Chains A and B, each alone.
Chain A
Amino acid sequence: MNGVLIFMAGLALGLGALVAVRQPQALRPALRDAARQGRTVGLRIPLGIFVAVVVSEVLPSGAIGPSIGPESGLRGILIATAFGAILPGGPIVTFPIAFTVWEMGAGPAQVVAFLVSWSIFAVHRILSFELPFMGPRFVFVRLLSAWYLPPVAGLIALALLSLPLGL
Chain B
Amino acid sequence: MRDTATLIFVALVAIAAGYAFWFGGTALLADSAIQTASLTLRVVPVLTCGLLIGAFAGVLMPRELLLRWVGEDSGFRGIVLASIGGALMPGGPFTSFPLVHALHRAGAGTGAMVAFLVAWAAVGVNRLFVWEFPFMGVEFGLLRLVSSLPLPLAAGIAANALIRRFPHLGVPPEDKR
Contacts and interface: CB of A to CB of B under 8 A. Distances in A.
Interface of A: 1, 3-5, 7-9, 11-12, 15-16, 18-19, 22-23, 26-27, 30-31, 33-34, 37-38, 40-51, 53-55, 57-58, 90-92, 95-96, 98-99, 102, 108-109, 111-112, 115-116, 119-120, 122, 125, 128-130, 133-135, 137-138, 140-142, 144-146, 149, 152-154, 156-157, 160-161, 167
A9 B49 contact: yes
Given A11-B53, A142-B118, A153-B122, A111 B140 contact: yes
Is the interface on chain B under 10, 10 to 19, 20 to 34, or 35 or more residues? 35 or more
A145 B116 CA distance: 13
Contacts of A144: 158-159, 162
Interface of B: 1-2, 5-6, 9-10, 12-13, 16-17, 19-20, 23-24, 28, 31-33, 35-37, 39-40, 42-60, 92-93, 97-98, 100-101, 104, 110, 113-114, 117-118, 121-122, 124, 127, 129-140, 143-144, 146-148, 150-151, 154-156, 158-159, 162-163, 169-172, 175-177
B122 A54 contact: no
B110 A138 contact: yes
